[in-house]
Amino acid sequence: MDKYLKELESYLELNAAYKSKEYAALHKFHYTVPSLRAFIKQKVFTFQRFDTETQLAIWDFIWHNTSYFESRSIAIYPFQHKSLSKYEFEKIIHWVDKCSCWEHSDDLSKIYAQLLEENPDWILPIYKEWNNSENLWKRRQSVVGLLEYASKRKKVLTFKELISFVQPLLSDSEYYVQKGIGWTLREIYNIYPKETIVFIEKNLIQIAPIAYSAATEKLDIALKSRLNNQRKIFRSRLTRSNK
């Protein structure tokens, strides 16, 4: 396995335009996403000729053992936009354990959201565990991975089910969890607009500024203005009551 990791990392080093820099506890060369995806499409690595199960074992080893940001990105791409087998799921579901940045988190969300749509019984119980995890990337994944982008989903959970993952994290102290909450509220709105606005109105004080900004960024101007005014009034009242 180690030789395939070295093959990939050597290829990245040889073709990099810049020296690597520290990023999210990894070394990053600053390749563009299209260029990394091209490596997969062009099958530049010898092990891409192997059978599916062998490739998965190699990608899994690379994910858990590389020190390069781009190596992890490349490991994710072959499993996006496809239906995973139970065997593939049981490997890739653990990749979040090594996640250290929003880019890899969001790339995993593409996989996990499709898994939820196709096999909810596999992943929904795991999301419920992650929602209360000490790992911030698991908590983020438990909301962003519900939909990723609503426009991609043919089947979704009910509003009640979706919001049950959002509600417990409203007071979360982590920036990237709050960004994930805002993202998810925005996407839930695209499916359940009326219910989402009611939820936002009921939680105008509880929703953190980071999440609120992301959740409302694409709302109709008039609706957004109304919510902003309500939020200012409620916050003003809260400030006076605390004096």
Domain ranges of the chain: 1-79, 100-243
Q: What is the pLDDT of residue 239?
A: 67
C-alpha radius of gyration, the chain, whole number: 20
* Cα angle: 221, vertex 226, 232; to 5 degrees: 120
Q: What is the pTM (predicted TM-score) of this model?
A: 0.94
CA distance 237 to 123: 42
Name the strand (E) or helix (H) holding 28: strand 26-28
Q: What is the pLDDT of residue 17?
A: 86
| Amino acid occupying residue 212 | Y
Write out the chain's pLDDT in tens, 243 residues. Answer: 999 999 999 999 999 988 899 999 999 998 999 999 999 999 999 999 999 999 999 999 999 999 999 999 999 999 999 999 999 999 999 999 999 999 999 999 999 999 999 999 999 999 999 999 999 999 999 999 999 999 999 999 999 999 999 999 999 999 999 999 999 999 999 999 999 999 999 999 999 999 999 999 999 999 999 999 999 887 777 666 665
Residues forming beta bridges with residue 23, ordered by sequence position: 26
Q: How, if at all, do strands 26-28 and 21-23 pair?
A: antiparallel
Tokens of 108: 């995993």
Q: What is the pLDDT of residue 81?
A: 95
Neighbouring CB atoms inside 10 A of 115's CB total 22
Instruction: For the domain covering 100-243, report its CATH number.
Output: 1.25.40.290
In whole angstroms, how far apart are CA 209 and each of 70, 138, 205? 32, 21, 9
